[in-house]
Structure 1
Amino acid sequence: MLLVLLIVLLPLAWMAMFKYRRRHMYKLARPIPAPEVELPVIGIAHKLMGNTEDIMTTLSNFSYECTKHNGIIKGWLGHILYFVLINPADLEVVLKTCLEKDDLHRFLRKVIGYGGIFAPVSIWRRRRKILVPAFSPKIVENFVEVFSEQSERLAERLDARADTGTFSIWPYLSTYTLDSVCETAMGVKVNAQGNPNSPYLLAMNKVLNLVCERIFHLWLQPDWLYRLFPQYPEHQRCVKIMHDFTDDVIKKKREEIKNQGQNKTKDYDLGTYKRKTFLDLLISVSGGGEKGYTDVELREEVLTLSVAGTDTSAVAVGYTLKLLAMYPAAQEKVYKELHEVFGDSDRPLTKEDLMQLKYLERVVKESLRLYPPVPFIIRKVLEDIKLPSGRILPAGSGVVCSIWGTHRDPKYWGPDADNFDPDRFLPERFNLANTYSFMPFSSGPRNCVGYQYALMSVKTAVSAVLRRYRVVGKEETSPAPTIRVKLDVMMKAVDGYQLALERRRPKPTANGTSKIIN
C-alpha cells in the first residue's frame, strides 16, 4: 500500500515542484491570449500532428489570430512555452536581442552542423565576420554570369515542356538553383539540370522533409527513440551522401589552392578574388592552412550555403512564376520591360541588365512578401524581455517570429494586405513605419548574408523563362491569390508549382522553317 502511495505521490510532487520553479513564467504568460484549440497538458501539440500542409495551415492561422490580439499569442507545446509574434516593433527587439536559435534547430544541425545560420551564438559571431565580406555586393555581382549561364540551360530544358499542358516546374527550378549554388559556392559543376536524379539533390530534398517531420512530431524528437523508427536509416543515408560529396570537394579544393600557393594569403584583394568561389574565399579569408577553417567547418558552411541557397531561390522563383500565371496582366508588364531591355535578341543577361528590370524586381519582392520561403524564425528567450507593445516575454520561453504574419498584417500593409500588388513597392508608395514589416530574408544581426545573391539568382531565372515563354495557369479572379502551401523547412507549394508554358516565338521545324504556335 505504501509503495502504491509513493508511486502516485512522487510524480505529483515532482510536477508541483516543476511548476513552482516556473511560476514566474506562468505569471508573465497568463495575460497573453492563447488559441482556442489549446488543450490541457499537450497545449497545441495536437494541431501540429498532421502533414506538412496541415502544419503550415495551423501556423498561418495562429499568425492571423495575432492580428486580433495586438500582434501576439502564446501556445504550449507540451511543457514548452512559445509566443507567436507579428508586430514589427516587437520583432525588431526580439531579432536584435534574442540571438540564440531555438533548440528545434538541433535537428537541422544534425545534417549541416554549425553552419552560420544555425550555429550557437558563440560560434556564429566568429564565422559571421568571415562570411560578411565574402558576400559583399561587389563579389556577389560577379556570379551573375553563372546565374545567366544556368538560367539559359533552364530555359532550354523547359522547351520540351512548352505547349504540352500543365506540369510541375519544381524539378527544373531546384536543379537550376543547385547547379548555380554548387558552381558559385564550391566551383563544382554537378550538372543537376542534365541529371535531375542527382544523388546530392535527392538526398537534400529527402532529408529536409525528414527534418521538418521530426520538428513537429514530439515522438520523433528524442534521439534514442528516433533510432527505432524507419525514418532514421534513411536520414543517415541522406546525410552521408551530402557529407561525402562536400568533403570530396573540399579535399580537392585544398589541394588546388596548395598547388597554387594561395593558402599563404591572409588578406584578399577584390580584383584577385572576384572570380573565386565562396569556398575559395572562406579558405583564404579565414586564414588558410592550419589557422583557417577546418575541413569540418568548411563543410558546415558550404552545406549551409547549398541547402539555404538551393531551396530558397527555387521556392522564390516558383512562387513568382505561379503568381504571374495567375495574374497575366502583371506578366505582360514584366515581358514588356524585358523586351525593352533585350529586344528580340537572345543575348545572355548581364549584371547591368538587372539594374534596369525595375518592375520585375517589384514583382519578385511582392512574391516574397506574400510567400516568403522561410515564413517563421524561432529564437530562444534567455532573459525576460519587455516588448514595445507592453508585453513581457519570460526567460525560458521561445519566440516564433512570423514573417508570414507580419507581411500580411493590415495594420502595416493596409486593408489589401493579402492582395498581389507589385506596385506597392514603388518608391513613392513603399514607406513602411517599421522596416521589420518586410523581411523575407530575416533581419537584425543574424539576417541572411546571401539575400543579394538570392535576389540576383531569382530575377535572372524569371527573366530567362519569361523571355521565351508565356506562363499559363488558372487565372485568379480575386486580387488576393490563394496557393496551397506546406512547410518542408522552407514553405513550398503543395502542387509542386504546377503551370503550363506557351512559346512566345515560333518553334523551328525540321526543314528550318517556322511553325506558328497559337
Structure 2
Amino acid sequence: MAETDSDTPAALPKGFRSAEQGWPELHRIPHPPYRLPLLGDVLGANRRTPVQDSVRLARRLGPVFRRKAFGKEFVFVWGSRLAADIADESRFAKHVGLGVANLRPVAGDGLFTAYNHEPNWQLAHDVLAPGFSREAMEGYHAMMLSVAGRLTDHWDRELAAGHTVDVPGDMTKLTLETIARTGFGHDFGSFERSQPHPFVAAMVGTLTYAQRLNTVPSPLAPVLMRDASRRNAAHIAYLNRTVDDLVRARRESGRGDGDLLDRMLETAHPETGERLSDENVRRQVITFLVAGHETTSGALSFALHYLSQHPEVAARARAEVDRVWGDTPAPGYDQVAKLRYVRRVLDESLRLWPTAPAFAREARQDTVLGGEHPMLRGAWALVLTPMLHRDPEVWGADAERFDPDRFDAKAVRGRAPHTFKPFGTGARACIGRQFALHEATLVLGLLLRRYDLRSDPAYRLRVTERLTLMPEGLRLALEQRPAPAPATPVTGAEEAVSAAGCPVHGIGD
C-alpha cells in the first residue's frame, strides 16, 4: 500500500526550520561534548565520514542523540525499540531531507527524492510496480546473466595477466550495465573502457556534491562551493542529455521489450489513465540508473570483501553453489532463490554495512517517540542503520562479528520486526529491493563457482562515503576453480528452509 491522505505536507508552524523547533524537549537528548557556539559539534568531526563519525558517537551517546553543525541540528535514532516505533506508518512518513533533498536538482520528483505530497510519486509507483513482479524479474534474469558473463570475461583476462581485480570499480560497471540493459535497453560499454563511463563520473560527482552541501554553512555555500557548484551543474546537464538521448532513441525506434522505459512511456495509470510527463520520465530514469546500481555495487563489494576474509564461509557458500547449480552453465531464475546460504552472506554484509546507511522519518502529527520524546508534526529524525544493525540487544555482544548464520530461518523468525532495514521502511522503501537481491545473489554464486578469492593480507577495510557506502581500495587476487560436478537435488529439508521466508520480507509492503 502507498501512503495515503496523511502524505499531505505538514502545516509547519511559522518559522519552523530546525529540529530544535520540532522537538520541544530537545535538551533531554544527549549530544557530543565540547559544543562550540555557531560551529556546533565540529571538534573531532571528519566531513568525509559523517556516517562513521555518527556511529562512533552513537556508541557513546545511546539510542537517540543529536549533532549540530553550523546551525543545523540533527536527531539520530538507532535503538531497536525506537526504530520500530518510528516505522509506524500511521504516525510517521518518509522525510526528504539532508543529502536526499540535495539530489532534487537532478532527480526532482523521482521515486527516491519525491516529497510525500507530490502526485508523481504515487503515479510512478503504481505504473512501475509491475516492473518488479516475479514475471518481470524472470524476464530480466537472462540479461543479468549476460552482463555477469562480461564481468567474468573481464576477470578472466585480469587473472591471465596476473593482475588483481578492482572490486568496487568492477561491481559498479556490472550493476550499471545490468540496470541499463534490463531497465532501458542501453549499453554503456563499461567493460570495454579503461576509465569509468562519463555517466558514472557525473553520477559520483552529483552524489559527492550533495553530501558536501551538508557540511558547509548554508550562507557560505555559494562562496565556498562556487567551483563545485559549476561542476555539479555540468554533471547534471550531462546526466540529463544522456537520458534524453536514450528516451529519444526509444521513441524513434519504437522497439522495446516491455522494460521499465517502455512502462514509463506507454503505460497509463490503471485507475486514472494518467501518464508520466516527459520531464518525470527523465527523472525516473536517472533515479533508477543512479539508485539502481550504486547501492547494489556496494553490497556486492562488501560481500566479496567478507568472503575473502572468511575462507570457511566462502567454502560453505561455494559448496552450496556446486550442490545446487552443479555444472549448469546458466542457472535458471528459480535456482538463484535456492542459494540460501549465499543469500545469508549477502544479508550479513548488508547488516554490517548497509550501503544506504540512513533514512529519515517525520511525524505526521504531534506524537511521542518511544513514549519519551515529544515530537511536533513535521519534526524528523534519521534512523542510523549501521547502528540499528549493531544493537547488542538484538544482535548480541558480538554484533561486530561477521556471521551469516544470523540469517538462518530460525534466527530470523526469533527477531523482532524492524531490526534489519537495509532498504528503508514502509511504503517508500526501495521499490527495486527484490531486483537488487536477485542480481547480487546470482553474481555472488557465479563468482564463487568460478574463482577462489584471495585478499591482500595488508588490506584493512576502509569505507568511503558519498551518500552510499563503498569499500575503498579493495582489490582481490583470483584463482581459477575447476569445473563443477553435476547438481545434487535439493532435499526436502532445504526446501523447508527456503520456504521459511525472506529475511527482509514485508519491508515496504
On whether the aligned pair clears a TM of 0.5, the verdict is yes
In 1, the alpha carbon distance for the partners of 2:379 and 2:68 equals 10
Tell me what 1:115 maps to: 110
Partner residue, 2:320: 337
Go from structure 1 to structure 2 and tell me whether the alpha carbon gap of 1:32 and 1:343 turns closer, same or farther (over 3 Å shift).
same
Aligned partner (choices 135, 141, 144) of residue 141 of structure 2: 144
8 Å contact kept, 2:453–2:479: yes
Mapped to 1, the partners of 2:463 and 2:77 lie a distance apart of 20
Residue 217 and residue 286 in structure 1: after superposition, are their counterparts in 2 closer, same or farther (change >3 A)? Answer: farther
Give the corresponding residue for 1:315: 298
Contact 1:73/1:84, CA 8 A, preserved across alignment: yes
- Within the candidate set 373, 388, 401, 2:370 is matched to 388
Q: Which amino acid aligns with 1:329?
A: E
1:64 aligns with: 59
- Partner in structure 2 of residue 32 of structure 1: 29
| Whole-angstrom CA distance in 2 between matches of 1:397 and 1:45 | 23
User: Which residue, 86, 94, 102 being the options, matches 1:99?
Assistant: 94
Bigger Cα displacement from structure 2, 212-221 vs 306-315: 212-221
The aligned residue for residue 278 of structure 2 is 295
Q: Contact conserved, 1:32 with 1:72, CA < 8 A, in 2?
A: yes
Alignment equivalent of 2:76, drawn from 73, 80, 84: 84
Residue identity matched to 1:502: E
TM-score by length of 1: 0.82
Hey, what's the Cα distance between the residues in 2 that align with 1:72 and 1:307?
Answer: 31
Residue 384 of structure 1 contacts residue 394 of structure 1 at CA under 8 Å; is this kept in 2?
yes
Partner of 1:487: 465
RMSD between aligned residues: 2.9
Partner of 1:514: none
Matches within 5 A, 1:125-140: 125-140=122-137
After superposition, where does 1:288-437 map in structure 2 within 5 Å? 291-345=274-328, 347-381=329-363, 383-395=365-377, 397-437=379-419
- Deviations for 1:445-484, whole angstroms, at most 9, x for unmatched residues? 21001000000111122122222111111569xxxx9722
- Aligned partner of 1:240 in structure 2 is 237
Q: 1:168 aligns with which of 143, 161, 166?
A: 166
- Report SS of the residue matched to 2:479: strand
Compared CA separation, residues 199 and 350, structure 1 to 2 (3 A): same
Match of residue 480 from structure 2: 503
- 1:386 positional shift: 0.8
Shift of 1:338: 1.4
Cα gap change, 1:121 to 1:23, in 2 (>3 Å) = closer
Aligned to 1:449: 431
Q: Secondary structure at the match of 1:34?
A: coil
How far off is 1:354 after superposition? 0.3
Which structure 1 residue ranges, 5 or more long, are not aligned?
Answer: 1-16, 261-272, 507-518
SS of residue matched to 1:203: helix
1:516 corresponding residue in structure 2: none
Equivalent residue of 2:409, what SS?
Answer: coil
Contact 2:164 2:477 in 1 (8 A): yes
Change (3 A) 1:26 1:456: closer
The Cα of 1:413 is off from its aligned counterpart by: 1.1
Amino acid paired to 1:32: I
Find the counterpart in structure 1 of residue 50 from structure 2. Answer: 55
Q: What is residue 259 of structure 2 aligned with on the other side?
A: 277
Query: What is the distance in 1 between the residues matched to 2:264 and 2:220?
Result: 33
2:131–2:259 CA contact under 8 A, matched in 1: no
Structure 1 position 341, deviation (Å): 2.5
Does the aligned pair in 2 maintain the 1:382–1:396 contact within 8 Å?
A: yes
Secondary structure, aligned partner of 1:121: coil
Aligned residues: 461
In structure 2, the residue matched to 1:204 is 203
Letter of the 1:92 counterpart: A
Q: Does 1:181 align with 2:159?
A: no
Assess if the C-alpha contact under 8 Å between 2:23 and 2:374 holds in 1: no
Q: Does the 8 Å CA contact 2:181/2:187 hold for their aligned counterparts?
A: yes
1:252-286 deviation line (CA, Å, top 9, x unaligned): 223344xx7xxxxxxxxxxxx9x521111122333
How far, CA to CA, are the matches of 1:444 and 1:320 in structure 2?
A: 26
Change in 2 beyond 3 A, CA 1:89/1:132: farther
Tell me how far apart the structure 1 counterparts of residues 464 and 217 of structure 2 sit (CA, whole Å).
Answer: 19
Partner Cα distance (1:384, 1:475) in 2: 53
8 A Cα contact 2:317 2:341, kept in partner: yes
Summarize the Cα distance change of 1:471–1:103 in structure 2 as closer, same or farther, 3 Å threshold. Answer: closer
Aligned partners of 2:180 and 2:289 also within 8 Å = yes
- Contact 2:84–2:419 (8 Å) recurs in 1: no
Choose 1 or 2 for highest CA Rg: 1
The 3-state SS of whatever aligns with 1:205 is helix
Q: State the identity as a percent.
A: 22
TM-score when scaled to structure 2?
0.83
Query: Which amino acid is the alignment partner of residue 491 of structure 1?
Result: L
Distance 2:243 2:59 in 1: 41
In 1: Cα distance, 2:305 partner to 2:315 partner: 14
Query: In structure 1, the residue corresponding to 2:418 is in which secondary structure?
Result: helix
Report Cα offsets for 1:28-85 as digits up to 9, x if no partner: 111111122533332224555x352x3232122133235xx3x211222333332110
**Does the C-alpha gap of structure 1 residues 357 and 37 become closer, same or farther in structure 2, counting only changes over 3 Å?**
farther
